[in-house]
């Protein structure tokens, strides 16, 4: 295969993605693309995202049409870097399609990419990607799991070893929590590092995971090389308690959809599959109690945030804070008074789940500081 013809194929976002649905091409045939240019919107089982050009060149042919559901690796289009005849492109497509074999489903006992580890008497599920010298640990927020990083983990793993864990009470980790405080959860992160032999790491935390990252840095500063916080808890007092309560009590698709739509600026991102996944999680034994216990620790009876880590942040150099301007859970103005110690990026037009809604922008910012 000549390098002058490049196949654009269905990306794999997150460990569980097996296929994606082509929503809409954002560029037309013949468009000249730079690396990072938005090409096509793709919807996964979880959420939709924009697929950006990985190479520069001319989009000579669009193969996949809107509404097509294709397995990962399937041909979406053809990029060319020099003048190539239509016949050659047609031959390339024909050859690709003739040789393309959809990936086999994961091995019998499921996804090898996930692993479990005993940490402080919890069974913690995590995944590890990449083998770079630097370590990154991704810490999700309240009610989330490591899937919150499905657009983040793989891109960052090009430059570092990236771990994403399910906190106790979340995902597929142990649901019964002995210490549901932010401090207790931060200790789990430290023990997780001990168990996996991670001496130092760059912690990236979203929402409550941001507070846990800050608390981890406070408990054992030398082990945290850097903090990157996305719409974090712990830098101000306001928090949307109504959302927390709605999420904890949601027991139908309607209630859950309404709650999840608070998390994003574009309510259409909350598809049925995301709603179902969250309901499945909520209906697991022990989850409701765990969520209530955690919420009662980081939120006061008055409905404000219980912890403030501004001091921790100012004591650490090299931190970054990313926020969506339309965050309906924790207001983005919490980053107004952060001073020089942190670089602040407010992404216009996105909500609380900014790393999913504006995955490419957030990844670019994160890759810059690794």
Partner 1 sequence: MARKITFQQAINEALDQEMARDEDVVIMGEDVVGGAGTEGEMDAWGGVLGVTKGLWGKYGDRIMDTPISESGFVGAAVGAATAGLRPVCELMFIDFMGVCFDQIYNQAAKFRYMFGGKAETPVVIRTMVGAGFRAAAQHSQCLYPMFTAVPGLKVVIPSNPYDAKGLLIQAIRDNDPVIFCEHKVLYTVEGEVPEDSYTIPFGEADIAREGEDITVVALGRMVHQALEAANTLSSGGISCEVVDLRTTSPLDEETILESVENTGRLVVVDEANPRCSIATDISALVAKKAFEHLNAPIEMVTAPHTPVPFSGALEDMYIPSPDSIVSAVKSVMDFSQ
Q: Kindly state whether residue 121 participates in binding partner 1, applying the rule CB under 8 A.
A: no
Site for partner 1, residues 288 to 347, rule: CB under 8 A:
none
Identify the DSSP state of 299.
Answer: B
Q: Closest CB to partner 1 among 18 and 245? A: 18
Q: Closest CB to partner 1 among 104 and 285? A: 285
Minimum CB–partner distance for residue 132 and partner 1 (Å): 25
Binder among 4, 37, 88, 106 for partner 1 (CB under 8 A)? 106
Q: Closest CB to partner 1 among 128 and 328? A: 128
Binder among 16, 225, 314, 325 for partner 1 (CB under 8 A)? 16
Minimum CB–partner distance for residue 80 and partner 1 (Å): 30
Minimum CB–partner distance for residue 272 and partner 1 (Å): 6
Instruction: Tell the burial category of 268 from Cβ atoms under 10 Å away from its Cβ (0-12, 13-18, 19+).
Output: exposed
Q: Closest CB to partner 1 among 43 and 327? A: 43
DSSP-based three-state secondary structure for 40: strand
Q: Kindly state whether residue 148 participates in binding partner 1, applying the rule CB under 8 A.
A: no
- Report long-range pairs for 363-366 (Cβ below 8 Å, ≥24 apart): 363/151, 363/152, 363/155, 363/156, 364/36, 365/320, 365/322, 366/152, 366/156, 366/204, 366/228, 366/320
Q: Are 240 and 247 in contact (CB under 8 A)?
A: no
Residue 163 CA from chain centroid, whole number? 12
Query: With CB under 8 A as the contact rule, which of the stretches 81-89, 279-287, 293-301, 302-310 interacts with partner 1?
Result: 279-287
CB atoms within 10 A of CB 270: 21
Binder among 83, 86, 87, 109 for partner 1 (CB under 8 A)? 109
The count of residues interacting with partner 1 (CB under 8 A) is: 18
Binder among 25, 114, 192, 323 for partner 1 (CB under 8 A)? 114
Identify the DSSP state of 68.
Answer: -
Binder among 18, 172, 300, 308 for partner 1 (CB under 8 A)? 172
Q: Are 91 and 5 in contact (CB under 8 A)?
A: no
Query: With CB under 8 A as the contact rule, which of the stretches 45-53, 107-115, 310-318, 335-343 interacts with partner 1?
Result: 107-115
Instruction: Tell the burial category of 17 from Cβ atoms under 10 Å away from its Cβ (0-12, 13-18, 19+).
Output: middle
Minimum CB–partner distance for residue 65 and partner 1 (Å): 12
Instruction: Tell the burial category of 109 from Cβ atoms under 10 Å away from its Cβ (0-12, 13-18, 19+).
Output: exposed
Site for partner 1, residues 224 to 253, rule: CB under 8 A:
251-253
Q: Kindly state whether residue 272 participates in binding partner 1, applying the rule CB under 8 A.
A: yes
Angle (CA) 243-205-328 rounded to 5° is 25
Minimum CB–partner distance for residue 181 and partner 1 (Å): 23
Residue length of the chain: 370
Interface with partner 1 (CB under 8 A):
16, 106, 108-111, 114, 172, 175, 251-253, 272, 280, 283-286
């Amino acid at each position: 295969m000549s390098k002058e013809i490049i196949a654009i194929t269905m990306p794999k976002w997150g460990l569980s993605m097996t296929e994606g649905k082509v929503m809409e091409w954002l560029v037309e045939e013949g468009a000249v693309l730079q690396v990072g240019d938005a090409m096509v919107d793709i919807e996964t089982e979880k959420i939709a995202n924009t697929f950006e050009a990985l190479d520069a060149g001319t989009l000579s042919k669009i193969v996949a049409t809107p509404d097509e559901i294709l397995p990962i690796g399937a041909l979406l289009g053809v990029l060319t870097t020099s003048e190539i005849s239509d016949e050659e492109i047609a031959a390339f497509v024909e050859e690709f399609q003739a040789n393309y074999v959809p990936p086999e489903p994961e091995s019998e006992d499921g996804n090898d990419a996930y692993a479990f580890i005993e940490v402080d008497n919890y069974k913690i599920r995590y995944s590890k990607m990449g083998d770079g010298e630097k370590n990154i640990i991704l810490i999700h927020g309240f009610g989330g799991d490591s899937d919150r990083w499905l657009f983040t983990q793989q891109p960052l793993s090009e430059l570092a070893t990236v771990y994403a864990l399910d906190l106790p009470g979340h995902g597929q980790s142990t649901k019964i929590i002995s210490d549901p405080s932010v401090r207790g959860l931060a200790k789990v992160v430290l023990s997780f590092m001990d168990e996996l032999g991670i001496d130092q790491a760059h912690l990236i935390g979203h929402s409550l995971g941001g507070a846990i990252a800050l608390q981890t840095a406070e408990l054992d500063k030398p082990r945290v090389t850097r903090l990157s916080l996305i719409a974090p808890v712990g830098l101000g007092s306001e928090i949307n308690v109504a959302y927390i309560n709605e999420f904890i009590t949601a027991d139908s698709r309607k209630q859950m959809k309404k709650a999840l739509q608070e998390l994003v600026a574009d309510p259409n991102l909350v598809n049925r599959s995301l709603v179902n996944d969250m309901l499945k999680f909520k209906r697991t034994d022990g989850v409701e109690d765990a969520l209530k216990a955690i919420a009662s620790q980081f939120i006061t009876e008055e409905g404000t945030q219980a912890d403030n880590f501004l001091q921790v942040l100012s004591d650490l150099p090299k931190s970054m804070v990313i926020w969506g301007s339309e965050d309906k859970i924790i207001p983005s103005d919490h980053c107004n008074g952060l001073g020089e110690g942190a670089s602040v990026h407010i992404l216009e037009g996105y909500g609380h789940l900014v790393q999913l809604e504006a995955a490419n922008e957030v990844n670019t910012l994160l890759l810059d500081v690794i």
